[in-house]
Structure 1
Amino acid sequence: MKSFIKRCLVAVMIPALLVGMTVFSAGAVAEEEVILSVTAKDIDDYGFRGAVQSALDEAAQNATAELPYTVTVPEGEYDLSYVLRVYSNTTLDLRGVTLKRSGAGAGNMLRVGDEDGVNTGVTGYAYENVRVFGGTFDGNFGENTIIKAFHTKNFTMDDVTVLNEKEGHMTEFAGVDGLTIRGCIFQDQRLTPGNYGYEAIQLDVLHPFHITNGRCEDLPVSNVLIEDCMFADMPRAIGSHTAVHNRPHNNITIRGNVFNDMSSIAIQGLNWTNVTITKNVIDNAPRGITLYSEPGGCTYLSGKLAQKGGTQSHVTDAYQAPGKANITINYNILTDIGTSDDKYASYSSQGIAVLGEKLTARSSVDSGDESGGLPAGDYYIDGANIHANFIDVRGNGIRIEDVRNASVASNEIVCSKNTVHKDNYYGVVVRGNASASTVSYNTIMGAEVNGIQLDGTNGGSVTKVRFNRISNCGKYGIGVYDMSIDKIEDNDIMGTKNIGLFADGSKINYLRWNRIRNCLDSGIWLTSTTTATTVKSNTTVSCDDSNSFGRNTAQSHYSSSSALTTFYLPWDTTDKVGAKMGVGSMFHIAPDVRPTNAVATFSYSSSDEEVVTVDQGGMAYAVGEGQATITVKSDNNITKKYVITVEGDGGVSHLTAKPSAPVIILGDADGNGTVESADSAMLMRRIVYIETPCDDVTLSRGNVNDDLFIDVMDVTYIQRYLANIDTPYEIGKRIK
């Protein structure tokens, strides 16, 4: 076994020296570390597991935060018959290595730390700074979780492939603060109905029913980043089915991942707070994204966990009103949701759902896993922003229940009939004592029942329902029941199989400027139990009974449409003439027509589809950096143009003046407009996976040789440019 100390990245700079140039200092961007190399001879002498574990044990004895160890393994394919254990301040570098679990039913392949008892062993975050870099873990369809980490602070997986799991999780984490999983592949996970190992990445609770050989404690999972990963052929990709009462899993970001062929759901959260789920692509799943509060089952009392583990309880077991959840679900693309049924449980199909729960009595305790026993109370979710998602679904597009301070805006929802799980399905449904500030600017097509269902039977309210474009619904365009709503205005509804806009037992302050056409029953119908303060200037055209407004007279409404004279893009003010978008972000264009009784259809086009694409529902999607103009054209040839600059990987900001074209300079890794030594330092930080203040799109400008990778050769060419040495690439020059 060979070891040496690497200082300040000298080893990885060697390729730069080979091209005959002076290497400029990138700064001390890494601490000293010990490289401990397992050799082929070590493996021949001691066997693969013995040789690698010996190196990991040496690291366990000597590694510190100031002097971490990296254990490297020679490339190749190896059988692994017993678990590898990794400890604090250690990186296991498995690039080019494939590990195959020996025999079905074999144990874990990699675990952080030692095996403990239920009430003996480490507590808190006993292990820290553990990283797995590269490698393939082939579980060979053994029936134990492949990778586990408990009682750990800062666990990272980079570019790891995990394959072939049966009846268990692919990876499992409990009591982890700082979990980063980047660029990993998870594929082929089999689960027989009745078993519990649904998730490829499971955020769990330290209880022996779920976590064997780990001490029981009430530690949640916190500070999670899962990005740029691929998941295929499994029940659930990322999620939780356990939580701690009054101690949520916290600060969770899931972004830029691809999910294919789930048999249950792509992302399922249980008692998560401060959540961002963005720019993910989900294709073919019974359900897409669902976040729950604290359900009566599956949630543990802190006191019970502490008593069982002989550990400290950190929160009360009494009911406490939930704190802010701060959930943001945006810029996700969901397709083919609900084409198959969830074979593990009877869930209704849905694209995106955020669901609280109200317990009227203490929940029962599960005799199997001891969860439950929560006190009665309203376990609502406070704060959910669901916007700018594209959802192709056979089921509910977006569903929120028992949620406070929600908003559902600028989503495009395309519905088809569900043939595998019968239910009443809606484009957007708000119910179960949910309150929302807005349900606006959504395009909803083909909902099985109502396009928008607002049900306040158990309480709830919505402030604004505006600028939604709803078509071809099985019953109503908008259905309102026992709900308090301030404004229902400027909605465009067409082609419903029943009434365009229906309200029963509700209170509405303003119902105006809505355009409803081609419905098989009344345009608008308000029952005698609905109180509506201002009902005026609504247009109903070609409905079975165009003049029906319930108790309201038709004199203040329109039964025929006017020709469109102008329209505005895309929100309440007319001075937003441009936008800046991050790559992967979306926004929905919903024209505001004039006069208010004008009925029009619109088409959309982009001047450069390599920068921005736009579909015929008006959803604009930022594809790559650059500038493009979106043209919106009405059916009577009135047009508006909207200039969009795509730069970086952030969200959408709307501008009051035409945005300047982006300045993209080859080699300018930090995006400040100049190629300088800081850019080479920035790239070196990226190469060794040290956090940078810049996003990946900005850093990609440092990929000067356009080989799809940021590597040492890019640093070399930038250094040559700074030293006035010719390069074959136009470093320092503006590119598209």
Structure 2
Amino acid sequence: MALSVGLLCFGATAAFADTTIRVNPKQGSDVVKAVQKKLDKAHKKATAKNKYIIKVKPGAYKLGGTLKLYSNTTLDLTGVKLKATKKTSNMIKVGDTPQDKKKGYAYKNISIVGGDIDNAGHSSTAIVIGHAKNVKLSGVAVHNSKNAHLVEVAGTNGFTADGCTFYDQVQTKKAKVATPEAIQIDILVKKHMKTYRSEVLPMKKIVVKNCTFRNVPRGVGSHTAVLNSPVSNVKIQNNTFTDCKSGAIQVLNYENCVIENNVINNSPRGIVSYTVNKKGVFLAKTLSKEGKVKTKVSSKYKKPKANQKIVIRGNTISLAGTDIYAEAENEGIFVGGFDFKKALKKNASTDAIPKGNYYASGITIVDNTITTIGHGIRLSDARNATITGNNIAFQSAGSKAGDFYGIQLTNASTNNVVTGNSIANPRTNGIFLLGNSSAARIDGNTIANAGKYGIGLQGSTATSIANNKVDKAKECGISVIKSSTAGAITGNTLLSTGSYGVYAKNNSKVRSCSGNTVVGANRPVFIQ
């Protein structure tokens, strides 16, 4: 084992260089003790100005325990293969084992570089991170977990995974605990992060970029949250997801979140964003009591922000298969909240979340390309959304019978804008609003070969339906039914739209209808 220390001096000013400690174990040996010895040395001596790099000699080794990382330390595993041999332990952990009593963002400036981390089919998460600040995984491959995450991180301010690969993670139907995410952005509650002290410590400044996910249940996201303590400042960019068994990206209680330029192939759901959910949401007072750490986060209902700043942009999504973890239809992009008419009942997977409308608001869904066997884009209980410039195409292969829509707004999704989208071969309706939803504008969209309506309002409102083109619809170009209201229906081109070009009935109102071109319909306009 060699120790090298670098110190550079320029005149009267000293510039500190990192200290590198090399570990040269025997090929094929169990390296947990040898590597941990050097990590412990770093724990004692490393500082923000003199960080330690623990560099393991390239080769294949066994790991019969947990490597513990502490502040100002880089574990360099370039060219190293580690295979777990102890079923009940994590392979790498930030902080102490088995229990860590730290609170706050205690561990700082930690990196793992390179390495092939083989969890050997074990049911303990391979890499766990908590109570930390500025943690980075670079070029790491993590794989082969059963009923466990590959990486689990909670209570961390600044987490980056860059250029990493995550694959071959199995979640069985008989598993006692759901662990579908390859990278789980978690919360510090005993139910989920039992080896850390419980605390309301927000996750923020998260970047997952240039990573590859394949054959995992879900790629990255969360199925847990603390009420009124959102995950914030998130970027999920330029990743590739293949053969997921659920939503490739699924987030819960996020704000200031950008999901862009990802490629999702052969997954039942693409990108999913919830404000809360019927399970997995805990009250701040629960974490505070468990960890004996005070919190200012309220456990009462608070009205959601008008602008949660959720941006879903430039992603390419191709759907296949059935979600085996959620009772959900195939959908390229889903954003939604929940309106709880009464408090939830506390159980093992959730606290008694207060009644209230936890709507989503301030969503931008733009320039995505979706090939779907179900829905394209769906909003539920979502407000102030802009859906524009998306290309949605339906494929018949692998699809199921049912009502599927290119763009659907439901459950009082209000004050939204739907413009400039292209929708081809929607199973039922191209654009469909129902359940007291509303759009300020449905303008400039192109819809081809709709199974029923090109554009439909059912118990909903659209202020403007203008300059859209519907080329072939089996029943109707534009339908306004069941006490719906359309403001101005103008400048639309409706070609071969079955029985009607524009149709309004069932106590519905159309304030003005003019300047539309209707060709090939049995009746151009029917407003009753």
Alpha-carbon shift at residue 304 of structure 1 (Å): 1.2
Contact 1:479 1:501 in 2 (8 A): yes
Q: 1:142 to 1:256 in 2, by over 3 A?
A: same
CA–CA separation in structure 2 for the residues paired with 1:190 and 1:164: 8
Question: Can you list the C-alpha shifts for 1:390-434, whole angstroms capped at 9, x where unaligned?
Answer: 000011100011112101000000013475655421000011111
Structure 1: gaps of 5 or more residues: 11-24, 552-736
Q: CA deviation at 1:482?
A: 2.1
Partner residue of 2:433?
Answer: 454
Q: Is the 8 A contact 1:116 1:215 kept in 2?
A: no
Query: CA 1:391/1:44 → structure 2, altered by over 3 Å: closer, same or farther?
Result: closer
Partners of 1:396 and 1:7 lie apart in 2 by: 60
Name the structure 1 match of 2:82. 99
Q: Does the CA contact (< 8 Å) of 2:30 and 2:64 recur in 1?
A: no
CA–CA separation in structure 1 for the residues paired with 2:404 and 2:29: 61
Choose between structure 1 and 2: higher strand proportion.
2
Cα distance in structure 2, aligned partners of 1:402 and 1:63: 50
Between Structure 1 and Structure 2, how many residues are aligned?
522
How far apart in 2 are the matches of 1:307 and 1:440? 48
Mapped pair 1:534 → 2:512: yes
Specify the alignment match of 1:547 in structure 2: 524
Q: Deviations over 1:312-339 (max 9, x none)?
A: 123111111112310000100012x1x2
2:77 matched to 1:77? no
Corresponding residue for residue 471 of structure 2: 494
1:697-736 aligned at under 5 Å gives the runs none
Cα distance in 2 for residues equivalent to 1:518 and 1:220: 54
Displacement of 1:66: 1.4
Q: Which amino acid aligns with 1:274?
A: N
Aligned counterpart, 1:570 = none
Return the offset for 1:165. 1.1
Match for 2:417 among 416, 438, 444? 438
Deviation at 1:7, TM superposition (A): 4.7
Question: Which consecutive aligned stretches of 4+ in structure 1 deviate over 6 angstroms post-superposition?
Answer: none
The DSSP-based 3-state class of the residue aligned with 2:198 is coil
Q: Distance in 1 between matches of 2:186 and 2:16?
A: 32
Q: Does 1:383 align with 2:362?
A: yes
Return the alpha-carbon distance in structure 2 between the equivalents of residues 436 and 332 of structure 1. 24
Aligned match of 2:20:
35
Task: Report the Cα distance in structure 1 between the residues aligned to 2:119 and 2:223, rounded to whole angstroms.
Answer: 22
Query: Are positions 1:266 and 2:248 aligned together?
Result: yes
CA distance in 2, matches of 1:164, 1:419: 28
Q: What's 1:224 paired with?
A: 206
2:230 maps to 248
Partner in structure 2 of residue 407 of structure 1 = 386
Counterpart CA distance in 1 for 2:405 and 2:333 is: 12
CA drift of 1:296 comes to 3.6
The alpha-carbon distance between structure 1 residues 282 and 31, as it changes in their structure 2 partners (threshold 3 A), is: farther
In the other structure, the counterpart of 1:2 is 2
Letter in 2 for 1:514: N
Note if contact 1:70-1:93 (Cα within 8 Å) is conserved in structure 2: yes
Deviation at 1:47, TM superposition (A): 5.1
Pair 1:426-2:405 in alignment: yes
1:305 counterpart = 2:282: no
1:131-530 equivalence runs, <5 A: 131-195=111-175, 196-323=178-305, 324-335=307-318, 337=319, 339-366=320-347, 368-369=348-349, 371-417=350-396, 419=398, 423-455=402-434, 457=435, 459-504=436-481, 505-527=483-505, 529-530=507-508
Q: Percentage identity across aligned positions?
A: 33
Distance change (3 Å), C-alpha of 1:495 and 1:82: same
| Residue 127 of structure 1 pairs with residue 107 of structure 2 | yes
| Alpha-carbon displacement from aligned partner over 1:575-631 (angstroms, at most 9, x marks no partner) | xxxxxxxxxxxxxxxxxxxxxxxxxxxxxxxxxxxxxxxxxxxxxxxxxxxxxxxxx
Q: Check conservation: 1:500, 1:516, Cα contact below 8 A.
A: yes
Aligned-residue RMSD, C-alpha: 2.0
Q: Note closer, same or farther for the CA distance 1:549–1:420 as it changes in structure 2 (3 Å cut).
A: closer
Give, in whole Å, the separation in 1 of the partners of 2:351 and 2:400: 28
* Residue 221 (structure 1) shift: 1.4
SS of structure 1 residue aligned to 2:527: coil
Mapped contact 2:30–2:63 kept (Cα < 8 A): no
Which SS does the other structure have where 2:285 is aligned? helix
Q: Aligned partner of 2:261: which letter? A: K
Letter of the 2:49 counterpart: E
**Cα offset for 1:500?**
1.1
SS in 1 for 2:217: strand
Distance 1:194 1:74, change over 3 A: same
Structure 2 Cα separation of the partners of residues 116 and 189 of structure 1: 24
State the shift of 1:102 in Å. Answer: 1.6
Shift of 1:30: 8.3
Give, as a single letter, the amino acid of the residue that structure 1 aligns with 2:200: D
Structure 1 residues 45 and 423 mapped into 2: Cα distance closer, same or farther (>3 Å)? closer
Residue 365 of structure 1, CA deviation: 0.8
1:305 is displaced (CA, Å) by 1.1
Distance 1:546 1:46, change over 3 A: closer
For 2:40 and 2:4, the matched residues in 1 are separated by 17
AA in 2 matched with 1:215: R
CA distance change for structure 1 residues 126 and 97 in 2, over 3 Å: closer, same or farther? same
Is the contact made by 1:230 and 1:257 (CA closer than 8 Å) also made in structure 2?
A: yes
Structure with the largest fraction of helix: 1
C-alpha separation in 2, matches of 1:173 and 1:46? 29
Partner amino acid, structure 2, of 1:209: K
Asked whether the 8 Å contact 2:198–2:287 carries over to 1, the reply is yes
Question: How many Å apart are 1:436 and its aligned residue?
Answer: 3.9
Change in 2 beyond 3 A, CA 1:520/1:237: same
1:53 is aligned to 36
Aligned-residue offset at 1:2: 2.3
Q: Please tell me whether the aligned partners of residues 454 and 483 of structure 1 are also in contact (alpha carbons under 8 angstroms).
A: yes
1:571 aligns with: none
Alpha-carbon distance in 1 for matches of 2:375, 2:295? 39
SS at match of 1:444: strand
What SS does structure 2 have at the residue aligned with 1:138? strand
Distance apart, 1:372 and its partner CA: 2.3
State the alpha-carbon separation in 1 of the partners of residues 527 and 519 from structure 2. 16
What is the one-letter code of the residue matched to 1:52? Answer: V
- 1:447 and 1:44 map into 2 onto residues whose CA distance is 58
Q: Is the 8 A contact 1:446 1:472 kept in 2?
A: yes
How far, CA to CA, are the matches of 1:56 and 1:32 in structure 2?
18
Task: Give distance in 1, aligned partners of 2:397 and 2:389.
Answer: 24
Cα distance, 1:245–1:150 mapped onto 2, change above 3 Å:
same
5+ residue gaps, structure 2, are: none
Secondary structure in 2 matching 1:209: coil
Cα deviations across residues 494-546 of structure 1 (Å, max 9, x unaligned)? 21111111002222221111111112221110115222222101111012x13
**What SS does the corresponding residue of 2:213 show, helix, strand or coil?**
strand
Secondary structure, counterpart of 1:477 in structure 2 = strand
Give 1:58 deviation, angstroms: 0.2
How far apart, CA to CA, are the structure 2 residues paired with 1:306 and 1:247?
13
Distance in 1, Cα, partners of 2:345 & 2:370:
36
Report the structure number with the largest CA radius of gyration.
1
Tell whether the 8 Å contact from 1:81 to 1:106 is kept in structure 2 after alignment.
no
